[in-house]
């Protein structure tokens, strides 16, 4: 079972540049959360701060009830073992085979025998669909395979929290769809707490239990998928609909009068739905044969109550087929 991460009043700056301030949120144990935000709003900095690679100026990060912000390097090292991180490019060693890359954390951080290492590596490679590619070098495989290899490596120490930094970057839409399914399946199988930084709105709409949005140095909103997808908050609506009109501009900031004019035009032109009627996207469910954690039933009931048309029958199948 994954662990809860509770962030309170977190602020991070580099010199005089405040990246974000007073960020508070809880990543519920075992759930999938997505962090969105325009480029440069500090999403990667947030991930690095959670795992203790960067120190915040203020605030606390409680991982399984323990504040990690004041820990010394030795204790932090122990806490980091709870985390698996999938970096943007997979962060694989170019001169090592996929097998050796994935075995690396086991050989570095455990005293397991080579036969135990082999069993674990092959199990994780199987989970991400890479059996048969053991001897390939990272340079010989596609970007999607590199991401999956990075994911297998993030899994070998059986983490309770997995952080994904733009897992979909550089992948074509079909590979993104496969990767999303893999993420949902993995979450159901290992029940760890997932936090995904992404720019891909389609993924953000389908995959997570919770969504957060960083903008103008603040966490604009963090809450359930339903809450964000049906929100009338202009920044949230603009981002989740991928529109130019709204508070987010090319250089992040926009003139307030311009924003108001754009929003009025959108409303007058009938291009926007009435407040409160934002479209819900069907949720991506674990594939056939993968047992669903108990929370899925509660989530499906909650979503069915909000959008009866999407869920005509027992939870699960109809949502997937919608």
Q: Does 203 bind ligand ATP (CB under 6 A)?
A: no
How many angstroms separate the Cα of 244 from the Cα of each of 52, 157, 255, 259?
35, 42, 13, 10
Separation of alpha carbons 315 and 322, rounded Å: 12
Work out how close the CB of 222 gets to ligand ATP at its nearest, in angstroms, rounded to a whole number: 15
Instruction: Read off the tokens for 108.
Output: 């570095």
Contact, 21 vs 11, CB < 8 A?
yes
Q: Which is nearer to ligand ATP, 45 or 51 (CB)?
A: 45
Quick check: 39 binds ligand ATP (CB under 6 A)? yes
Q: Does 42 bind ligand ATP (CB under 6 A)?
A: yes
Strands (E), the chain: 5-14, 17-27, 32-36, 58-63, 66-67, 83-86, 161-165, 193-197, 210-215, 218-224
Is 40 or 249 the residue whose CB approaches ligand ATP more closely?
40
Distance of closest approach, residue 1 Cβ to ligand ATP, in angstroms: 29
> Applying CB under 6 A, which part among 42-50, 107-115, 119-127, 184-192 lies near ligand ATP?
42-50
Rg (CA), the chain: 20
Q: Does 37 bind ligand ATP (CB under 6 A)?
A: yes
Cβ 27 vs Cβ 193: under 8 Å: yes
Query: How many residues interact with ligand ATP (rule CB under 6 A)?
Result: 10
Q: Which residues contact 73 (CB under 8 A, 6 or more apart)?
A: none
The verdict on 196 binding ligand ATP (CB under 6 A) reads: no
14 binds ligand ATP (CB under 6 A): yes
Of positions 1, 9, 24, 40, contacts ligand ATP by CB under 6 A: 40
> Per rule CB under 6 A, is residue 153 in the interface with ligand ATP?
no
Question: Which residue ranges make up the site for ligand ATP (CB under 6 A)?
Answer: 14, 19, 37, 39-45
């Amino acid at each position: 079972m994954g662990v809860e991460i509770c962030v309170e009043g977190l602020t991070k700056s580099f010199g005089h540049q405040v990246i974000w301030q007073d960020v508070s949120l809880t990543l519920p144990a075992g759930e999938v959360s997505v962090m969105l935000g325009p480029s440069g709003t500090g999403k990667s900095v947030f991930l690095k701060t959670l795992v203790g690679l960067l120190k915040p100026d203020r605030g606390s990060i409680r991982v399984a009830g323990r504040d990690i912000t004041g820990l010394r390097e030795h204790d932090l090292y122990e806490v980091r073992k709870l985390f698996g991180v999938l970096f943007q490019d997979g962060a694989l060693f170019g001169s090592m085979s996929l097998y050796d890359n994935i075995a690396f954390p086991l050989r570095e951080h455990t005293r397991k025998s080579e036969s135990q290492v082999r069993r674990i590596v092959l199990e994780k490679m199987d989970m991400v669909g890479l059996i048969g590619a053991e001897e390939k070098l990272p340079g010989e495989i596609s970007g999607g395979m590199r991401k999956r290899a990075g994911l297998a490596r993030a899994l070998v120490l059986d983490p309770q929290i997995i952080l994904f930094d733009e897992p979909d970057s550089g992948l074509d839409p079909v590979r993104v769809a496969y990767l999303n399914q893999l993420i949902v399946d993995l979450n159901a199988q290992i029940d760890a707490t997932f936090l995904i930084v992404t720019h891909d709105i389609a993924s953000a709409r389908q995959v997570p239990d919770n969504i957060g949005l960083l903008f103008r140095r603040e966490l604009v909103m963090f809450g359930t998928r339903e809450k964000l997808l049906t929100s009338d908050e202009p920044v949230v609506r603009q981002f989740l609909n991928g529109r130019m009109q709204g508070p987010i501009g090319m250089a992040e900031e926009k003139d307030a009068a311009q924003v108001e004019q754009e929003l009025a035009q959108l409303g007058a032109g009938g291009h926007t739905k009435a407040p409160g009627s934002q479209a819900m996207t069907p949720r991506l469910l674990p594939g056939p044969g993968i047992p669903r954690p108990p929370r899925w039933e509660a989530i499906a009931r909650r979503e069915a109550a909000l959008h009866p048309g999407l869920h005509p029958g027992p939870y699960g199948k109809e949502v997937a087929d919608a």
